Amino acid sequence: MNSEFVKGLCKIISDFSLIVVLAFFISWAFLSRVVMQGFSMNPVIKDRDVVLVNRLYKNIIPLSRYDIVAFNIDGQDNIKRIIGLPGDFIKISSGNIYVNLNRIEEDFMQDSLSTSIDNEVYVNSNEYYVLGDNLDSSKDSRFKDVGNINKNSIIGKVWRVIGTR
């Protein structure tokens, strides 16, 4: 065999191996997979959809209002949308949602609130108030057993749906 050919082949194999190792490291260090369970985020994320979660968000890149995040409560992974940021005042009254006394009405909210839950909550530092897009099928921050989500419980920001389980 030609030595130039062998050198070239070795270089290609070496470069490819480095790319594979870097890709593995990046995905291991910064990404997680979470499976959506339930219908609370329909139609954006459906039941049994597998999502990639970027763990750089929350610790390095700040989370923003309306980001979709994965978090863990009592060993159970959940996916919801951030409505309230640290320092916000959330009020739910007569089926309307207010953030700092401003009514929110976004396209991602599939339903109006048909429940008669009226609530006023202050979001403390290191906490987030989350809601599912499918409001009538979501167990979220409106309920006392969920409440505000502590920053330490957040896995990261949902990046994209990668398949269905």
Catalytic residues: 40, 80
Q: How far is CA 147 from CA 30, 84, 94, 128, in A?
A: 27, 12, 20, 9
Q: How far is CA 146 from the centre of its chain?
A: 16
Identify residue 43 by its one-letter amino acid code: P
User: Which two structure tokens, joined as six digits, stand for 144?
Assistant: 């006392």
Find the farthest-apart pair of alpha carbons in the chain and give their distance in angstroms, rounded: 80
> What is the enclosing helix (H) or strand (E) of 71?
strand 68-73
Rg, C-alpha atoms of the chain: 21
Query: Are 50 and 37 a contacting pair, CB within 8 Å?
Result: no
**C-alpha neighbours within 13 Å on the C-beta side of residue 11:** 6
